[in-house]
């Protein structure tokens, strides 16, 4: 048995998220289907995270095992030859049996783009939230910094759909860095966050909360209060998915084949 790691980029606009769904095309479903065609095996593809419908990726990571004799480079070429153009395998490598795209991850980076100009260029509308109205960006930057550290993010997460499950799950997460900055062309406000793992809708709720701070509906210290409240109705709205992108999933180099 051999083990492989894929680094994947995709435009999530026309897909129903990462995870296989009974109805609708998904990133995991598309890649799994092509792997089955290539190997004639029932391949189980495991992703580092489940991006939602409309969310994009530059560096999603997935892993699978196979008895195929194909090299990593041959898998990459074959996948890119068959997959829709909106999904690209940007890297493929053989790894050791202990590697798992999700459980071996040590950090994830997400980025959310807010377009501040009056008119969104046609080539950008799929990838940004358009918000041309006044914002207190300095207050938003202060708020962003307050996400760093280990906190209970219950106020910034979607419900599981079950009250019992909501009570049982842990909503404590560690954020390594959290920054808001203008792009060099001054047209976009970009939020970049890095953490070990994230709850569903967590980044989008965090951005919605920062926007409410920018609009004056909340203040930066309110973020500390929201940790204590554990009430998602009190935080900002869940912003639309198209501005969000999974930029990178970080793994330790020791998982590579032949690493000491």
- How far, in Å, CA of 94 to CA of 111, rounded? 28
Here the tokens at position 45 are 């593809």
Active site residue 52: yes
| 205: Cβ contacts below 8 Å, ≥ 6 apart | 155, 156, 157, 158, 232, 235, 236, 237, 238, 239
Residues in a beta bridge with 111? 192, 245
Q: How far are the Cα atoms of 47, 84, 108, 145 from residue 95, in angstroms, in the given order? A: 15, 26, 19, 36
- How far, in Å, CA of 141 to CA of 34, rounded? 43
Residue with tokens 């404590």: 172
Q: How many CB atoms lie within 10 A of CB 202?
A: 23
> Between 72-82 and 27-39, two packed helices, what is the crossing angle to 10 degrees?
120
CB 139 within 8 A of CB 217: no
Residue with tokens 């701070």: 213
Here the tokens at position 136 are 């207190």
- How far, in Å, CA of 240 to CA of 53, rounded? 10
Q: Which of 11, 14, 52, 142 is catalytic?
A: 52
**Catalytic amino acids?**
52
């Amino acid at each position: 048995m051999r083990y492989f790691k894929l680094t994947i980029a995709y435009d999530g606009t026309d897909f129903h998220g990462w995870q296989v769904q009974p109805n609708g095309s998904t990133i995991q479903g598309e890649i799994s289907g092509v792997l089955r065609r290539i190997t004639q095996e029932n391949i189980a593809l495991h992703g580092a995270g489940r991006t939602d419908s409309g969310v994009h990726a530059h560096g999603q990571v997935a892993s699978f095992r196979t008895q195929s004799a194909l090299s990593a480079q041959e898998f990459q070429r074959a996948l890119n030859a068959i997959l829709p153009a909106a999904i690209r395998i940007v890297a493929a490598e053989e790894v050791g049996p202990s590697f798992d795209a999700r459980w071996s991850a040590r950090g994830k980076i997400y980025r959310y783009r807010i377009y501040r100009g009056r008119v969104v260029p046609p080539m950008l509308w799929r990838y940004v939230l358009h918000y041309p109205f006044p914002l207190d960006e300095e207050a938003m930057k202060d708020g962003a910094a307050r996400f760093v550290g280990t906190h209970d993010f219950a106020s910034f997460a979607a419900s599981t759909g079950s009250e019992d499950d909501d009570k049982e799950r842990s909503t404590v997460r560690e954020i390594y860095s959290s920054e808001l900055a203008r792009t060099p062309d001054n047209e976009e406000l970009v939020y970049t966050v890095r953490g070990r793992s994230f709850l569903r809708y967590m980044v989008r709720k965090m951005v919605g909360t920062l926007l409410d701070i920018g609009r004056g509906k909340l203040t930066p210290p309110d973020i500390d209060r929201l940790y204590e409240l554990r009430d998602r109705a009190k935080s900002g709205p869940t912003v639309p998915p198209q501005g969000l992108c999974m930029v990178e999933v970080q793994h330790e180099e020791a998982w590579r084949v032949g690493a000491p």
